[in-house]
A = this chain, B = another copy of it.
Amino acid sequence: MSADPHPWATTLEGLHAEVWTRLIRGVHDRRAAARHPTLATVAPDGSPQARTVVLRAADRASATLRVYTDAQSAKMTELRTRPLAALHVWDSGAHLQMRLATHVTVHSGDAVANLWAKLPEEARLSYGCTPAPGQPIPDALAYRKTPDPSVFTVLELRLQAMDIVHLGPQHRRARFSRIEGWAGIWCAP
């Protein structure tokens, strides 16, 4: 039997710690899998919605994550109706699937002025579009991007639970929840 390349996957503590290592790496390393998670929400009509987002912050102590968006985007309408989001990362290097159930709090205006101030000019172009993102336009390039701090919006994702799968020589799956202090239990994969 060959050595397990991911010994951290054999204990609940190890698995939980590795998830946070990978999430934090996503914030700082553009090439990390967790840099670009998929954020799933539910539309007012009850349909599932999923799109790529950029992970902007990850804090293990409070078990919160942060992503940025435009106040005019469809996901804001969805989150106002149902402030829940599932964040999904498949990290092929770690053979690790992370499914994070979160409650979402929306911050904008003065409360996020310090984060806006830290954004490079080019990054600011992602916040502020005329017409609004998703609106029909007569031609592919018939829109204008103008950085607009009034639409810059920070989503604070407060983790409630994690469903983690490691695909190794033998598959392992664990669930961790805030209410259990992130202690974790094993589940059938």
Interface residues of A (CB under 8 A from B): 10, 36, 38, 40-42, 46-52, 82, 84-88, 90, 97, 99, 101, 129-143, 163, 170, 172-175, 185-189
Find the B residue at minimum CB distance from A52.
B90
- Report copies per complex: 2
Contact between chains at A48 and B86 (CB < 8 Å):
yes
The 6 closest A-B pairs by CB, nearest first: A50-B88, A40-B40, A40-B50, A40-B48, A143-B188, A48-B86
> With contacts A49-B40, A140-B172 known, is A129 near B86, CB below 8 A?
no
Contact between chains at B52 and A97 (CB < 8 Å):
yes
> With contacts A10-B140, A133-B188, A138-B186 known, is A88 near B38, CB below 8 A?
yes
Other 4 A-B pairs with CB < 8 A, given A48-B85, A134-B173: A46-B46, A48-B49, A48-B86, A51-B99
